[in-house]
A and B are shown apart, each in its own frame.
Chain A
Amino acid sequence: MTTTSLAKAARPGAERAAAGRGPWRYFLRHRAFYIMLAPGLLYFLVFKYLPLTGSFIAFQDFNIFKGFSGSEWVGLKWFRQLFQYPNFGRLIENTLIISLYQIVFAFPLPILLALMLNEVRQMAYKRIVQTVLYLPHFLSWTIVFGLSYMLLSPTNGLFASIFSGMGAEGGILQQSEYFRPIIIISGIWKEMGWNAIIFIAALAGISPSLYEAAKMDGANRWKQFLHISLPGLLPAIMILLLLKIGHILDSGFEQIYQFLTPAAFETGDVLDTYTYRVGILQGQYSITTAIGLFKSVIGFVLLVIANRVSRWTTGEGIY
């Protein structure tokens, strides 16, 4: 670049004028920016978009030796096979129930926690609580699994030794009826504090003068909560809820896979864990890609519907 073009580039007015003279000259003038962007865009293209478009193998009888272009097209064969597969219903049911439990039990708690923290007047106490509750977010699922395993170990875990004789034989971790509660509770343990941050930020963004005015008018804490805090939180709540609904068929593979034992398949085998076992381990790529595609389509449709409903009822939406 010559000095004159640099001087021109320094003036925003000059840029707009240059843009008018054709996109190619504009591009050349600002090529440094586009060169900087190139690696990032290439990354997203290769590692985010390519796998998405790679989903077309759900319509192929994909064979690793024949490759993407050589494999035979089979239309909707895998989808038909999927819907006829007797265990598919169980996979869907487990996935949906775990997701619904997460929405009903795990989703409201961070909101409650943020509201409770908001009422604490001693700043030092508030900071201590926050420090303790944010920590588990930074521990891996493996660590959380390890901690749960130690606590719930049938032979000498903490729970077994405290509640000995309370039907802990065989170990809670290996029993299918306890699988879902364990997933939900360990999820709450790990993420409740962290998920509260966004609500704490939203509460901090509410102007204190609103509360003062409400107090003048004689509103007690409950009324203040109902008429000031809750409306202030509503946009954040709706956005997160919508995103969660869009991901209702992803119930957290990393966590569930680690906690899952064959004894708990009845209640805990979800679409993702099945995809991993059958797809990655057994090499049935096409049918498991069909599951992935099914998940994306359902997720997208649900997101659109939920967004409509949300805009219609609360006026909030993500687009």
Chain B
Amino acid sequence: MRIKRSMGERTFDAVNAILLAICCLAVAIPLLYVVAGSLSSNEAIMHSEVRLWPVGFNLDNYDFVIHNAVFWRSFGVTIMIVVIGTAINMVMTLLTSYPLSKAWLGGRRPIMLFIIFTMIFQAPMVPMYLLIKELHLLDSIWALIIPSALSAFNMLLCITFLRSIPEELFEAARVDGMNEYRILWRIVTPLSMPINVTLMLFYAVGHWNNYLGPLLYVTDRAKQPLQLYLYNLISQFDMDSAGGESVLELSSRLTPQGLQMATIVVATVPVVIIYPFLQKHFIKGALLGSVKE
């Protein structure tokens, strides 16, 4: 059934739709430009002919990225951090969330306050750096994993989810002789898969995008993750830091911009690939507990 709307209403709807379309274009244009540039020829980039479509289509820039050992080394470091880091994040989140989802647990309130306090007062940069130094974690990938082993915000999301699991289920398991560790592993973990997937994606993207951690704690080139490599490639472009000898033979045919654009695209692709899953899940996560009556 269509309700007839007044002229003013329809104008409003049209203006609204157009403004939103403009917002979408503003988000899309920089991305399209960089993709188009990365696929364009050296000359087209030099003469600023590229707009939103490749000019003189070729894959030379990607050829460089694919054969760039330094890039892949950083890529590997980041993959390692994402995999190990996210695994630790999930274990820590479930271990902490399950007890705290019990409203009756003694000491729950002070413990929650203890954790929420850390969300408001962030650890200051210099003492944090000194702590990592004291723990001999500098220049190690563990400096990027252990200090972010648990996110208070994600833990709160997990607790909210776990509280929706009926207590009777746990009681039945206890009567059957399961102890709490087995309940956590065999009942809580499988039942909380929807939130686990959401949190896993959140954590993984967080590790993938982490720039601050490596900036502060990793100076060793061999251990620098992707974001740090990417930043150095863009801000202080020199062929040496970009990829050493493997680049020299290519450098006559390529422009720094082309290489930078192609590297940006390759570093973005994994996030874009998981984005549909991320979107499907974070809506649930973000809207958790805001049920319309």
Q: Which residues of A contact B (CB under 8 A)?
A: 1, 3, 6-7, 9-10, 12, 15-16, 19, 23, 26-27, 30, 32-34, 36-37, 39-41, 43-44, 46-52, 54-55, 57, 64, 113, 116-117, 119-121, 125, 128-129, 131-136, 138-143, 145-151, 153, 155-158, 160-161, 164, 189, 192-193, 197-198, 201-202, 204-205, 207, 221, 243, 246, 250, 253-254, 257-258, 272, 275-276, 279-280, 285, 288-289, 292-293, 295-296, 300, 303
Contact call B127/A32, Cβ cutoff below 8 A: no
Taking CB atoms, residues of chain A closer than 8 Å to B126 are 57, 275, 279-280, 285, 288-289, 292
Contact call A125/B17, Cβ cutoff below 8 A: yes
- Nearest chain A residue, comparing its CB with the CB of B184: A36
Taking CB atoms, residues of chain B closer than 8 Å to A138 are 205, 209, 271, 275, 278
Q: How far is the CA of A132 from the CA of B279 in the complex (A)?
A: 10
Instruction: Add 13 more A-B contacts to A40-B96, A141-B211, A293-B124 (CB < 8 A).
Output: A16-B104, A40-B115, A47-B149, A120-B16, A131-B279, A133-B27, A138-B278, A140-B209, A142-B267, A280-B216, A289-B126, A289-B127, A292-B126
26 contacts between A and B (CB under 8 A): A6-B175, A36-B96, A36-B184, A44-B118, A47-B149, A50-B131, A54-B131, A64-B130, A116-B19, A119-B16, A129-B24, A134-B279, A141-B209, A143-B264, A146-B234, A147-B30, A150-B260, A158-B50, A254-B212, A272-B125, A276-B125, A280-B129, A289-B126, A292-B125, A292-B127, A303-B120
Q: Which listed residue, B118, B205, B264, touches A49 by the CB 8 Å rule?
A: B118
Answer yes or no: B179 CB below 8 A from chain A CBs.
yes
- Main secondary structure, interface of A, reads helix
Contact call A150/B34, Cβ cutoff below 8 A: yes
Given contacts A26-B106, A49-B118, A254-B212, contact A120 B17 (CB under 8 A): yes
Q: How far is the CA of A109 from the CA of B152 in the complex (A)?
A: 27
Contact call A39/B95, Cβ cutoff below 8 A: yes
Taking CB atoms, residues of chain A closer than 8 Å to B34 are 146-147, 150
CB-CB contacts of B1-21 with A at 8 A, as 1s and 0s? 000000001001100110111
Contact call A7/B234, Cβ cutoff below 8 A: no
- Interface residues of B, count at CB 8 A: 98
- Nearest chain A residue, comparing its CB with the CB of B170: A10
B273 to nearest A CB, angstroms?
A: 11
Q: Which residues of B contact A (CB under 8 A)?
A: 9, 12-13, 16-17, 19-21, 23-24, 26-31, 33-34, 37, 45-51, 92, 95-96, 98-100, 102, 104-106, 111, 114-115, 118, 120-131, 133, 146-147, 149-150, 152, 155, 171, 174-175, 177, 179-181, 184, 205, 208-212, 215-216, 227, 230-231, 234-235, 257, 260-261, 264, 267-268, 271-272, 275, 278-279, 282-283, 286-287, 290, 292-293
Given contacts A135-B27, A140-B227, contact A204 B121 (CB under 8 A): no
Contact call A135/B275, Cβ cutoff below 8 A: yes
Taking CB atoms, residues of chain A closer than 8 Å to B210 are 140
A2 to nearest B CB, angstroms?
A: 11
Taking CB atoms, residues of chain A closer than 8 Å to B231 are 142, 145, 258
- Nearest chain B residue, comparing its CB with the CB of A303: B120
- Nearest chain A residue, comparing its CB with the CB of B124: A292
B86 to nearest A CB, angstroms?
A: 15
Contact call B13/A121, Cβ cutoff below 8 A: yes
Contact call B127/A54, Cβ cutoff below 8 A: yes
Contact call A156/B46, Cβ cutoff below 8 A: yes
Q: How far is the CA of A303 from the CA of B33 in the complex (A)?
A: 42
Q: How far is the CA of A119 from the CA of B231 in the complex (A)?
A: 40
A265 to nearest B CB, angstroms?
A: 15
Q: How far is the CA of A116 from the CA of B184 in the complex (A)?
A: 43
Given contacts A51-B131, A204-B287, A280-B129, contact A156 B45 (CB under 8 A): yes
A181 to nearest B CB, angstroms?
A: 15
Contact call A33/B180, Cβ cutoff below 8 A: yes
A300 to nearest B CB, angstroms?
A: 8
- List the 4 shortest-distance A-B pairs measured between CB atoms, nearest first: A292-B124, A40-B96, A54-B127, A161-B48
Q: How far is the CA of A149 from the CA of B134 in the complex (A)?
A: 37
Taking CB atoms, residues of chain B closer than 8 Å to A250 are 122
Q: Which listed residue, B123, B171, B292, touches A207 by the CB 8 Å rule?
A: B292
Q: How far is the CA of A278 from the CA of B293 in the complex (A)?
A: 54
Given contacts A51-B131, A254-B212, contact A43 B125 (CB under 8 A): no
Contact call B125/A280, Cβ cutoff below 8 A: yes
- Nearest chain B residue, comparing its CB with the CB of A16: B104
Taking CB atoms, residues of chain A closer than 8 Å to B16 are 116, 119-120
Contact call B230/A142, Cβ cutoff below 8 A: yes
Taking CB atoms, residues of chain A closer than 8 Å to B47 are 156
Contact call B28/A198, Cβ cutoff below 8 A: no
A179 to nearest B CB, angstroms?
A: 15
Q: Which listed residue, B17, B26, B95, B260, touches A37 by the CB 8 Å rule?
A: B95
A106 to nearest B CB, angstroms?
A: 14
Taking CB atoms, residues of chain B closer than 8 Å to A1 are 179
- Nearest chain B residue, comparing its CB with the CB of A8: B174
B19 to nearest A CB, angstroms?
A: 7
